[in-house]
Structure 1
Amino acid sequence: MHAPPPHVPLASGRLHAAHPDGDDAIRQTDSDAALARFSAVQKGYIADPFVRALLPRGAHLQPPRPPLINVGTYVRAAGIDQLVHGFLAHAAQERRRCQIVSLGAGSDTRFWRIAAGPHASTLATYVEVDFAENTTKKAMAIRKSKDLGALLGNAEEVKLVNGGTSLHSPRYHLVAADLRQSPEESLGPVLTGLHTDDTPLLSPDLPTLLIFECVLAYMPAEDSDRLIQWFADYFSKSTNGVLGALVYEMFGLQDSFGKVMLNNLKARNVSIPGAEPYPDLASLPGRFTRRDFTTSLALTLRDIRRSCISEDELERISHLEMLDEIEELELVLQHYAITWGVKLNDPEAQASWKNWGLLHV
């Protein structure tokens, strides 16, 4: 759930260290994203009864974010939610359970929202991966929250491992790893059971969705490509495998707007090398098609707001706060996009799964 939230100039939230190293600065962007989501919940843009349990300390003392940030957070959530719910619905229609892997999950609450929602029975496994510093904090928060713990299963089935950096339950798994490292070494042993006697967390036979929510931009392109390729290879082992993926990220930062964003991030000791290979919207699907995905598409948040959110819903949020900066909002949303793709091993599955994606209303 790493951010910056969709707004610019970007400095929503303070870093906890006066001169943080690059990784610490990246980890702190998760606090920005959590506070932005909490603000959107407080103002009525989105519903999330679990967000408060995972907020950083003192978050309740923070003032709400400006309307431009709240609207941007809403559009981001609406697009990603539509894709995730659509993936679950496709699996349910085929009477198959599915798996979700959230990479760089941070303080995201998606597992609990699914577990408390209509698609709970469709979800077989949910895995979150992040820096050990983030997973340790999240594991502690989960242990302290009755609301979060109640949806994990019986207390005796919930276990902290690896010095408290990881947590396992029957369906939910929190795993510590640096995504820039070799996936064979960092993810392979725990997710696939390779080189260990453990039961694999992920089955290549179940439809599986990868979520990269503002995380790949912080990684060198060769590392993110290697990560996606590793998942593509693993799920190629099944003749009826379905691997979906979605990425939320900033792109097209060569213009004046992008330079302002990059300078603001640089002042916070944050760099986004992963955005450099994607100068425009047309370049984004290549992230997946180069990895042999069957299909891939991308939409900017501006296009999602215009085309994928109902008029009734846009009318509802228009009454929540006065938003004067429409042109600025459009400019910001034009520099963020959601890209999705699906890799199908069975040609007969293409008829249904190729239609998974954001729907125009």
Structure 2
Amino acid sequence: MPCRQNTPRKDLLASYVEIDFPEITTKKAMSIRKNKDLSLLLGRPEDVKLAHGGTALHAPAYHLIPLDLRLPPGQALGNALNSDAGAGLLSPNLPTLLLFECVLVYMRPAESEALIQWFVDYFSAGDDGAVLGAIVYEMFGLNDPFGKVMLNNLRARNVDLPGAESYPTFDSLLQRFLRHGFDASHALTLREIRRTYISHQELERISQLEMLDEIEELELVLQHYAITWGVKLYERNGQSLKANWKGWALRAPEDQQ
């Protein structure tokens, strides 16, 4: 979202590209144009423009694009990023981070794998030393009794998760990136993140905002959500980048080390 550009390192961001269904991007674009504070974060009013009948929005460093990512990426994604409005949004020569927040699990495995492979192939045309990172946040391991209850509850609401079956275990999460030639792949469940990577002070603060008695039930849910991340390093001249990325991970707060 545009508010993420309001950070100390915002000037280092070449471009933030957000992709969603047209019905979603339309609402977001209208909200941004109607909200003065959001618009000001993106630049001067004359530099924030609607496109494609109000389903898209473009600003100097933020681009909202309507697209169904289930479509063949070579055609759909390639056309969107190479159109007049999208030209230059994705440079294979710049370090790029892909963020998938509960996206791939709603796609068939063949569709999500084609999408990731498209980015891998696209960045292979970049300069020596190009870096492609990816982070996925979604549910997994829904083949156990608790997971089946989650699936049934979602299906009762007409929500299907065709991508969940390919990741029945924690170890299977790592293969999402490794099968595409990524140099590193890691994962953490939200339960582990809550236990190890959030400070006691923060947990106490949150508990005062909302009382939570069923910790065991919460942890069962968190055990079925994970953050998986990987990095693909493009190097053709023998220069190793791997040492620079060994520490790419969450760090536990000092009071829990």
Same fold (TM over 0.5): yes
Asked if 1:236 is matched to 2:121, the reply is no
Q: Give a deviation string over 1:296-336, Cα, whole Å, max 9, x none.
A: 00110000011111222223223323211011011111010
Find the partner of 2:241 among 327, 333, 349.
349
Q: Distance in 1 between matches of 2:74 and 2:85?
A: 16
Q: Distance in 2 between matches of 1:229 and 1:141?
A: 33
Q: 2:30 — aligned with what?
A: 140
Matched position secondary structure for 2:166? coil
Asked if 1:204 is matched to 2:92, the reply is yes
Q: Distance in 1 between matches of 2:14 and 2:85?
A: 21
Whether the 8 Å CA contact 1:293–1:343 is kept in 2: the answer is yes
**Aligned-partner residue type, residue 99 of structure 2:** I
Q: Distance in 1 between matches of 2:202 and 2:12?
A: 27
Q: Give a deviation string over 1:149-184, Cα, whole Å, max 9, x none.
A: 001111111111111111111100000100000111
Q: Distance in 2 between matches of 1:184 and 1:200?
A: 17
Q: Distance in 2 between matches of 1:214 and 1:198?
A: 24
Q: Distance in 2 between matches of 1:321 and 1:248?
A: 24
Find the partner of 2:55 among 165, 180, 196.
165
Asked if 1:187 is matched to 2:77, the reply is yes
Change in Cα spacing, 1:311 to 1:161, as seen in structure 2 (3 Å) is same
**Aligned-partner residue type, residue 96 of structure 2:** T
Matched position secondary structure for 1:184? coil
Whether the 8 Å CA contact 1:165–1:176 is kept in 2: the answer is yes
Asked if 1:359 is matched to 2:251, the reply is yes
Shift of 1:201: 0.8
Whether the 8 Å CA contact 1:342–1:354 is kept in 2: the answer is no
Q: Distance in 1 between matches of 2:229 and 2:46?
A: 37
Find the partner of 2:3 among 112, 115, 118.
112
Matched position secondary structure for 2:75? helix
**Aligned-partner residue type, residue 147 of structure 1:** D
Question: Structure 2 length normalisation: TM-score?
Answer: 0.92
- By relative contact order (CA 8 Å, sep 6+), the higher-ranking structure is 1
Q: 2:210 — aligned with what?
A: 321
Q: Give a deviation string over 1:25-73, Cα, whole Å, max 9, x none.
A: xxxxxxxxxxxxxxxxxxxxxxxxxxxxxxxxxxxxxxxxxxxxxxxxx
Shift of 1:197: 9.3
Q: Distance in 2 between matches of 1:209 and 1:197?
A: 21
Shift of 1:198: 6.2
Whether the 8 Å CA contact 1:190–1:200 is kept in 2: the answer is no
Q: Distance in 2 between matches of 1:147 and 1:201?
A: 24
Q: 1:93 — aligned with what?
A: none
Find the partner of 1:312 among 178, 201, 215.
201
- C-alpha RMSD of matched pairs (Å): 1.5
Asked if 1:224 is matched to 2:112, the reply is yes
Q: In percent, how many aligned pairs have the same letter?
A: 62
Matched position secondary structure for 1:356? coil
Question: Structure 1 length normalisation: TM-score?
Answer: 0.66
Q: 2:138 — aligned with what?
A: 249
**Aligned-partner residue type, residue 94 of structure 2:** L
Question: Any stretches of 5+ residues in structure 2 without a counterpart?
Answer: none
Q: Distance in 2 between matches of 1:190 and 1:243?
A: 20
Q: 2:103 — aligned with what?
A: 215
Change in Cα spacing, 1:197 to 1:171, as seen in structure 2 (3 Å) is closer
Matched position secondary structure for 1:118? coil
Tell which deviates more after alignment, 260-269 or 333-342: 260-269
Q: How many residues align?
A: 249
Q: Give a deviation string over 1:328-359, Cα, whole Å, max 9, x none.
A: 01111101000000111134322112321222
Tell which deviates more after alignment, 348-357 or 125-134: 348-357
Q: 2:186 — aligned with what?
A: 297
Find the partner of 2:228 among 339, 346, 354.
339
Question: Any stretches of 5+ residues in structure 1 without a counterpart?
Answer: 1-108
Matched position secondary structure for 2:115? helix
Tell which deviates more after alignment, 228-237 or 343-352: 343-352
Matches for 1:29-48 after TM superposition, within 5 Å? none
